[in-house]
């Protein structure tokens, strides 16, 4: 109890310190902004922007803006302290509890063993605004992806690298797993402009450099505004990144400035048809998407329920007497000023709290004249739960318009997080049970419904609203979106043939989970009738993870026969054959599949490795697992996207399309025990007009001969000679020893690694 009390006190003190800092900063800024020197600085900013930056492109427009634009348009914007905190941390602080630790998914080896952090695909977000704008759907969903271990790269529409750096891009960490990307590019306007060829080349160049240096492999492009279409397509062509378009508004009917350009509207129509996946926030948007060739997935808006329900008392409005009728959100042309003014005038003993940026300055005048209307302006997201706690009734006073037919209102979910009664216009996309809200149309109906909501006697309604909110969280939406993305990702079947492999399996499986970020995979272990603990280990893996299967063969079918048996169980679009005496590295699946996805002439791809008998072997410079992963990451950056033609892929690790496997056929099981089946398959692929390549940026560590090392030397030589004879008779050629690539030492000179020491250092 004392520990919890201390944690609560420390959290409360930290929250108070952060708020004190924010208040101090705002007071100082208010003083500075009132000084003549500050106003002169803004004047110079206005002159420079219009006469130097804008005049060459739009002389008349720049001249008009010079005389008409208020100085406030050129005010400096400072980062918001709260935008650098996760919603989980803010929730914990607001509730007076210790912040919860964030992290990705994990899977334990077994009872008492440490959990394994699973690799996750990355997301390049092409947003509608900067991350530190109002915390809305774009940030909410991406924050959940980040909290679940996905790395999010958020391209800033407005910020550029430091002018004196000369860099093509700059990275600025925002939160754990969320990084702002600032691209060096010509000036542009996201809303009213278009992606010109010069702008596209500039942005793509910076992004491609970032992707190589960051070592990104498995990745999605998430487009939130159609301006980015061409850039997302460039990444798809260059790197194979699938494209998700999250459609949140009907931009063709957007009523307020800045209105999306005609170019953006045209880009959206193409985007619907070209995107790998389209998600929509409202079913009406889904109908628009379907008209343009998409098959959209409905992912409505939601609430950060845990954040909103853990509210503390609000000191700013806590002292008000009488009922409090509240609203937070944008105060724009869809806001029914007349209805709110009529309510306030009709009920002078009610307090009307309006929180949000007022975009329609003229229409707000009647509300300013009413003493019981409190126009508080924008408030930080972290403070909204405490305001909501004091609201007795919540408002969604929107004028019905074509635009609102496409709007799934976020604030309804947020209001419901605390069970509050809501009075709203008859919006078509509320998606809530009708008996949980109070509908109004005319000003008089608003007054009657607010009175009815204040006198609500059915206590079950508040509970049901909270239950509705809990069933519609942003984490649920992230899961829905992730599930849709995985459905659009080709399934990869990884086949691992084992025989007395217990010495390798624990670390093999751990590194597989840690470094396999491909969204959809199945791992099929096929055991060739081992006599050690291998079958039990594999059964344990399968019991712990539905993606893992253990095929326990009742007799040893040899290397070819065992892999063939496992391949019959596989359901993936791609097959990867992988030995258990290997260690995979981050991004290995994407890099291994990339040559197959880019070039239909490639039939099989292999990684480069430290231990193989042909040109896939390269010289290495590491001692243990940690150094090996650094080596692999450096290689991926240096040789990004490069391939090297080889006569065959050693089946210690090789990828093939399922369609190609069905066309060429299984491994030839006449090569008993093992050896030469990979040489044989290389010739069969070549006869079918297909190439075999090494993915130069994909490195896999191989201990070497994990199963064949168990054969005594005489037996191993006998198997080699027998299979070579089968190979030579089958193809009518003399088998030739494989060559190393120039400058690489022969396999006999390769360093032999002890698994025990390899993972210990």
- The string of pLDDT tens digits covering residues 407-455 is 888 999 999 999 999 999 999 888 889 999 999 999 999 999 999 999 9
Q: How many other β-carbons are positioned within 10 Å of the β-carbon of residue 53?
A: 11
Virtual CA dihedral for 108, 110, 112, 115, nearest 10 degrees?
Answer: -10
What was the pLDDT predicted at 470? Answer: 95
Q: Which residues, 6+ apart, have CB-to-CB distance to 146 below 8 Å?
A: 86, 102, 152, 175, 176, 177, 178
Q: Once rounded to an integer, what is the mean pLDDT over residues 52-60?
A: 75
CA dist., res. 231 & res. 741, Å (int): 37
CA dist., res. 753 & res. 488, Å (int): 40
What was the pLDDT predicted at 146? Answer: 95
What was the pLDDT predicted at 676? Answer: 83
Q: Which two tokens stand for residue 430?
A: 């509320």
By percentage, how much of the chain surpasses pLDDT 90? 65
CA dist., res. 566 & res. 496, Å (int): 8
Q: Which residues, 6+ apart, have CB-to-CB distance to 595 below 8 Å?
A: 602, 605, 643, 693, 695
Q: Which two tokens stand for residue 337?
A: 């000023």
CA 188-194-200 angle, to 5 degrees, is: 75
Identify which of 357, 354, 341, 355 has the alpha carbon closest to the alpha carbon of residue 446. 341
In sequence order, the β-bridge partners of residue 337 are none
Q: How many residues does the chain have?
A: 761
**pLDDT-wise least confident of 49-53, 346-350, 705-709:** 705-709
What was the pLDDT predicted at 19? Answer: 62
Q: Assess whether pLDDT exceeds 60 at residue 160.
A: yes
Q: Assess whether pLDDT exceeds 60 at residue 577.
A: yes
CA dist., res. 253 & res. 285, Å (int): 12
- The string of pLDDT tens digits covering residues 303-336 is 999 999 888 888 889 889 999 999 999 888 889 9
What was the pLDDT predicted at 99? Answer: 39
Cβ pair 369, 395 in contact under 8 A: no
CA dist., res. 70 & res. 63, Å (int): 13
Q: Please, which pLDDT band fits residue 103 given cuts at 50, 70 and 90? A: very low
What was the pLDDT predicted at 133? Answer: 81
What was the pLDDT predicted at 709? Answer: 55
Backbone angles phi, psi at 654, to 5 degrees: -155, 145
Q: Which two tokens stand for residue 695?
A: 């993915």
Virtual CA dihedral for 208, 618, 585, 146, nearest 10 degrees?
Answer: -20
Q: Which two tokens stand for residue 624?
A: 């243990």
More confident residue, 402 or 262: 262
Identify which of 496, 494, 497, 504 has the alpha carbon closest to the alpha carbon of residue 556. 497
Cβ pair 664, 616 in contact under 8 A: no
In sequence order, the β-bridge partners of residue 657 are 574
Buried b (16+ CB within 10 A) or exposed e, 307-337: bbbbbeebeebeeeeebbbbbbbbbeebbbb
- DSSP characters for 654-676? EEEEHHHHHHH-S--TTS-SSSS
Average pLDDT, the chain: 88
Q: Please, which pLDDT band fits residue 726 given cuts at 50, 70 and 90? A: confident
**pLDDT-wise least confident of 248-252, 336-340, 577-581:** 248-252
**Helix pair 505-515, 534-544: axis angle to 10 deg:** 30
- The string of pLDDT tens digits covering residues 143-154 is 999 999 999 999
Domains and their CATH numbers in the chain: 120-302+476-489 (3.40.50.2000), 305-472 (3.40.50.2000), 490-760 (3.90.550.10)
* Contacts within 8 Å (CB) and 24+ apart, 434-438: 435/461, 436/461, 436/464, 436/465, 436/468, 437/412
Q: Once rounded to an integer, what is the mean pLDDT over residues 623-632?
A: 94
Q: Assess whether pLDDT exceeds 50 at residue 750.
A: yes
**pLDDT-wise least confident of 400-404, 442-446, 739-743:** 400-404
What was the pLDDT predicted at 107? Answer: 40
Q: Which two tokens stand for residue 743?
A: 């400058």
More confident residue, 1 or 645: 645
- The string of pLDDT tens digits covering residues 585-599 is 999 999 999 999 999
Q: Assess whether pLDDT exceeds 50 at residue 105.
A: no
Q: Which residues, 6+ apart, have CB-to-CB distance to 659 below 8 Å?
A: none
Write the DSSP symbol of residue 124: E
């Amino acid at each position: 109890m004392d520990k919890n009390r201390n944690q609560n006190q420390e959290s409360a003190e930290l929250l108070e310190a952060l708020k004190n800092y924010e208040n101090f900063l705002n007071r100082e800024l208010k003083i500075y902004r009132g000084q003549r020197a500050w106003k002169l600085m803004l004047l110079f900013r206005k002159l420079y922007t219009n006469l130097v930056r804008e005049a060459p492109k739009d002389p008349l427009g720049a001249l008009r803006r010079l005389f008409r634009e208020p100085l406030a348009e050129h005010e400096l914007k400072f980062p918001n302290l709260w935008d650098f905190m996760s919603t989980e941390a803010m929730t914990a602080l607001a509730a007076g509890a210790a912040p919860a630790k964030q992290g990705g998914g994990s899977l334990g080896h077994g009872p008492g063993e440490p959990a394994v952090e699973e690799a996750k695909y990355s997301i390049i977000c092409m947003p509608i605004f900067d991350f530190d704008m109002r915390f809305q759907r774009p940030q909410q969903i991406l924050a959940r992806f980040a909290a679940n271990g996905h790395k999010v790269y958020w391209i800033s529409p407005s910020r550029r690298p430091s002018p004196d750096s000369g860099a093509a891009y700059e990275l600025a960490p925002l939160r754990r797993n969320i990084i702002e990307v600032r691209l060096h590019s010509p000036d542009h306007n996201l809303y009213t402009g278009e992606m010109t060829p010069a702008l596209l080349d500039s942005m793509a160049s910076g992004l491609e450099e970032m992707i190589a240096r960051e070592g990104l492999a498995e990745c999605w492009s998430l487009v939130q505004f159609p301006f980015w279409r061409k850039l997302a397509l460039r990444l798809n062509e260059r790197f194979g990144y699938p494209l998700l378009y999250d459609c949140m508004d009907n931009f063709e009917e957007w009523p307020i400035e800045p209105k999306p350009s005609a170019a953006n509207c045209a880009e959206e129509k193409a985007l619907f048809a070209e995107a790998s996946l389209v998600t929509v926030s409202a079913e009406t948007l889904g109908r628009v998407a379907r008209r343009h060739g998409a098959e959209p997935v409905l992912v409505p808006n939601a609430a950060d329920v845990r954040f909103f329900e853990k509210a503390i008392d609000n000191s700013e409005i806590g002292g008000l007497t009488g009922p409090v009728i509240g609203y937070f959100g944008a105060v724009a042309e869809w806001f029914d000023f007349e209805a709110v003014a009529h309510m306030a005038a009709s009920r002078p003993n009610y307090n009307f709290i309006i929180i949000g940026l007022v975009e329609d300055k003229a229409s707000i005048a009647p509300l300013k004249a009413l003493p019981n209307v409190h126009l508080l302006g924008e408030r930080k997201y972290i403070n909204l739960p405490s305001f909501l706690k004091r609201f007795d009734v919540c408002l969604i006073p929107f004028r019905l318009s074509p635009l609102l037919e496409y709007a799934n209102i976020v604030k309804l979910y947020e209001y419901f997080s605390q069970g509050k009664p809501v009075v709203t216009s008859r919006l078509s996309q509320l998606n809530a049970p009708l008996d949980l809200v109070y509908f109004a149309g005319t000003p008089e109906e608003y007054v009657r419904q607010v009175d009815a909501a204040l006198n609500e006697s059915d206590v079950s309604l508040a509970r049901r609203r909270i239950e509705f909110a809990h069933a519609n969280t942003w984490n649920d939406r992230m899961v829905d979106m992730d599930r849709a993305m995985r459905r659009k990702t080709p399934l990869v079947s990884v086949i691992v043939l084992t025989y007395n492999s217990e010495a390798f399996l624990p670390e093999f499986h751990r590194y597989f989970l840690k470094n396999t970020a491909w969204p959809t995979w199945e791992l099929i272990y096929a055991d060739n009738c081992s006599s050690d603990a291998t079958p039990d280990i594999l059964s344990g893996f399968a019991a712990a993870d539905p993606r893992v299967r253990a095929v326990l063969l009742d007799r040893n079918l040899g290397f070819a026969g065992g892999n063939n048996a496992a391949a019959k169980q596989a359901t993936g679009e791609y097959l990867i054959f992988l030995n258990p005496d290997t260690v995979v590295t981050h991004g290995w699946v994407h890099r291994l599949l990339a040559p197959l996805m880019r070039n239909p002439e490639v039939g099989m791809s292999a990684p480069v490795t430290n231990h193989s008998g042909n040109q896939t072997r390269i010289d290495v410079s590491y001692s243990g697992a940690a150094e090996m992963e650094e080596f692999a990451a450096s290689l991926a950056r240096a040789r990004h996207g490069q391939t090297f033609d080889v006569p065959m892929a050693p089946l210690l690790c090789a990828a093939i399309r399922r369609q190609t496997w069905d066309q060429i056929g299984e491994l030839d099981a006449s090569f008993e025990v093992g050896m030469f089946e990979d040489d044989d398959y290389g010739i069969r692929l070549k006869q079918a007009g297909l190439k075999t390549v090494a993915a130069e940026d994909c490195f896999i560590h191989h201990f070497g001969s994990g199963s064949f090392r168990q054969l005594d030397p005489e037996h191993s030589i006998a198997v080699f000679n027998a299979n070579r004879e089968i190979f030579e008779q089958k193809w009518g050629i003399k088998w030739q020893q494989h060559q190393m690539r120039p400058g690489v030492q022969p396999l006999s000179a390769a360093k032999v690694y002890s698994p025990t020491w390899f993972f210990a250092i």
